[in-house]
Structure 1
């Protein structure tokens, strides 16, 4: 009898551990992944404008009020940089934001994050990596990936495959396309559509997905603040598929 009892307890342990792990996830309104392009087309000045834009966004009073205004009153957010198909680096880990203090702390972490530049542009690699980041201690009513970049996919598997895999998991893919002031000559002769059209048609997807276009890196700060405010809204209202900032 004792042996059967011990055996039953042993068999029940994995299920109990799984249940405990699941219940340990902290509820939040949104799980938001920020994916930032650091390929060679983004020069040091432009990279600094990106990081500064994200940093200032999380110090913005309106954005913080949006974070605190949802049913739960908090979001979970993390940031990673991406370039080649195999290069993705977490620069700010998952953090629960529920107050000006925690939002400013997240901004501080962005300001202190390392600045590195790599080579190619693998949007598909960024999508695949982002999709694996969810469920790490948080449970959001929505899962959103915010992909910012200034070029088309030129490394890794086709974007369509990575996009479909992410959408099948219920992930919403939003885009922030930066129209570079000095576009690559290759982009002009490759026969590919303009970057904003490429992001609109090939990158974003999922319920309520949208694209924000920054007309140059100088417009990045305004564009990213607006984008995140829209992403964390407690009840996302139907908005323009594409918003532009100059």
Structure 2
């Protein structure tokens, strides 16, 4: 007789991997479309059901005259029994003198959640999607009322934020150097030169948009997105 293709331990390991994949797909709700998620879940759930049926349906096959089949962990009694018969796992028999008490102990395992890599990917995907769209609600209320025009792709409209050092700004205020002769550095260049950086500017100057753009590019780099990554973040300014 040939060996089975999969042992119970192998099937249980495969079932655990499938359950992790199912949990990971559920974590993508709100990020991926429901159609994509349901298509992936359909195949996973079918595999899960097939393995569960195999594991719960384990038993024995009786062949030949007089043969008896007993399912997995079953007990066969041919005639009569005097005493106690206890089957199964995690059982305990307590003799109370006037009677016998049989206690069934069951271990409930916590559900297996998605692995760290799946959670990280889901988080970065959500971060990328939320930072890549620039809302027009505070700029153009009429455009914001139109769903198709309510936001713009940040990567397509972002312009690098130029800065002045506090010293250069003070010289300008004193009129010591014309603005056109003062070298302005991008905020990214300032960040590269300073251990700590505080950006000051008027409302609407681009400070918040700058931090959103940085987050989008860093998330895009981790996700392997070609439209926004470290190359876009560090691209030289046009002269």
TM-score, normalising length from structure 1?
0.21
TM-score, normalising length from structure 2?
0.22
Larger radius of gyration: 2
Which has the bigger relative contact order, CA under 8 A and spacing at least 6? 1
